Copies of this chain bind each other. A is one copy, B any other.
Amino acid sequence: MSNRRTVTVVVDAQGGDRAPSEILSGVVLALKADPDLQVIVTGEADIVGPFAAGHDRVEGFPTTQVIEMDEHPANAVRSKKDSSIVVGCRLVKEGRADAFFSAGSTGGAMAAATLVMGRIKGVARPAIATVVPTAGPPAVMLDVGANADCKPEHLLQFAHMGSAYATVVLDVAEPRIALLNIGEEPSKGSVLAQESHALMVEALPGFIGNIEGRDVLAGVTDVIVTDGFTGNVSLKLLEGTSKILLGQVKDAMTSSAINTMAAAVLKPSLSRLKERLDPDTYGGAPLLGVAGVCIIGHGSSNARAVANAVRVAAQAVRGDLTERIAAAVAPN
């Protein structure tokens, strides 16, 4: 018997390019790793029924609709009340589950979580966070895409939310928080960055000041705060750069027979590096600020990514993520 709290995670069986097979395989992996985990899978009866019948600690919750990647998120959430995403969020709202995971439409999952679960009291704008690998310990970066235009008070809330996530998921007792800017001095940057800096100096005990783009991967902070435009460009640039650089390293390694032989020797070390840089290693991206744990996976999530995301979701529930955010943003 484990002393961990039992947690129920709803998994959208129909979200993602590789649904349902990789999603369900991921659920199996997650259940194996955590004896106190329960899973509810939402999706077509033909999919979730047989799966639930074949696995302990799994409940199937049949739904009849799917929100597609190209639909207008808010409209889809309003019109498709029996979709795997909307029903998943409703199960959390109703207290029948503790957390929700989907690798489907990011916009759809965000809209459903915000509209169905609602925001935590005091939160102006939920934000998407992501864990980035660095030369040191991993860091939480947010917002990476929920809010293209932000105000300083939004960034201050992102800081609180990211700090709670770093504590619960990265095990950092007192997270260091930095503002992404284009210079280290407080007077540098856009009006938004300057005003946010001033606000954070006042209100955030863990605030270490501005960092620049070159410091994002340097391991100098636990939380990186930015607006959703800069954060989204940065995250995708990071992903693109890693992919292209490692691809070019690979090309260099296979450009001749002798290079290929030499590369074979190095393969295990480089595979470990690749795994460290793989976003799947760190689970999905949490939507922070909604009244319930909600983790959104890459559309390309494989079983391992799903299992990691479910693990992170359970960790967030057991670490009282939602309650910590509520306490941090409560008007005092």
Question: A residues touching B (Cβ–Cβ < 8 Å)?
Answer: 134-135, 145, 148-149, 180-182, 188-191, 193, 212-218, 226, 228-230, 232-249, 252-253, 255-256, 258-259, 261-266, 269-270, 272-273, 277
Contact A191 B149 (CB under 8 A): yes
Copies of this polypeptide in the complex: 2
Which B residues touch A238, using CB under 8 A? Answer: 213, 237, 241
| Interchain residue pairs A-B with the least CB separation, the first 7 | A213-B236, A214-B240, A252-B269, A213-B237, A262-B265, A262-B262, A182-B232
| 10 cross-chain CB contacts under 8 A | A148-B189, A214-B236, A214-B240, A214-B243, A229-B230, A233-B234, A237-B241, A249-B273, A252-B272, A253-B266
Cα of A240 to Cα of B217 in the assembled complex, Å:
7
Checking B189, B217, B228 against A241 with a beta-carbon cut-off of 8 angstroms, the contacting residue is B217
Cα of A188 to Cα of B265 in the assembled complex, Å:
45
Shortest Cβ distance from residue A17 to the other chain B in the assembled complex, whole angstroms: 16
Contact A212 B241 (CB under 8 A): no
Given contacts A253-B266, A258-B265, contact A233 B212 (CB under 8 A): yes
Contact B182 A228 (CB under 8 A): yes
Shortest Cβ distance from residue A127 to the other chain B in the assembled complex, whole angstroms: 14
Given contacts A236-B212, A237-B216, A259-B266, contact A189 B230 (CB under 8 A): no
Q: From A134, A215, A252, A270, name the one whose CB has the most chain B CB atoms within 10 angstroms.
A: A252
Which B residues touch A262, using CB under 8 A? Answer: 261-266
Cα of A188 to Cα of B213 in the assembled complex, Å:
23
Checking B180, B215, B229 against A189 with a beta-carbon cut-off of 8 angstroms, the contacting residue is B229
Given contacts A213-B235, A229-B230, A252-B266, contact A241 B242 (CB under 8 A): yes
Given contacts A259-B265, A262-B266, contact A237 B234 (CB under 8 A): yes
Cα of A234 to Cα of B135 in the assembled complex, Å:
18
Shortest Cβ distance from residue A281 to the other chain B in the assembled complex, whole angstroms: 14
The chain B residue with its CB closest to the CB of A254 is B269
Which B residues touch A235, using CB under 8 A? Answer: 213
Shortest Cβ distance from residue A169 to the other chain B in the assembled complex, whole angstroms: 22
Contact B229 A190 (CB under 8 A): yes
The chain B residue with its CB closest to the CB of A219 is B244
Given contacts A148-B190, A189-B229, A259-B265, contact A237 B240 (CB under 8 A): no
Which B residues touch A265, using CB under 8 A? Answer: 258-259, 261-262
Given contacts A214-B240, A235-B213, A273-B248, contact A149 B190 (CB under 8 A): yes
Contact A233 B149 (CB under 8 A): no
Which B residues touch A226, using CB under 8 A? Answer: 233
Shortest Cβ distance from residue A320 to the other chain B in the assembled complex, whole angstroms: 31
Beyond the given A213-B233, A213-B238, A217-B240, could you list 13 further A-B residue pairs with CB under 8 A, ordered by the A residue number? A148-B188, A148-B191, A148-B193, A182-B228, A182-B233, A193-B229, A213-B237, A214-B237, A217-B241, A226-B233, A234-B237, A241-B241, A262-B263
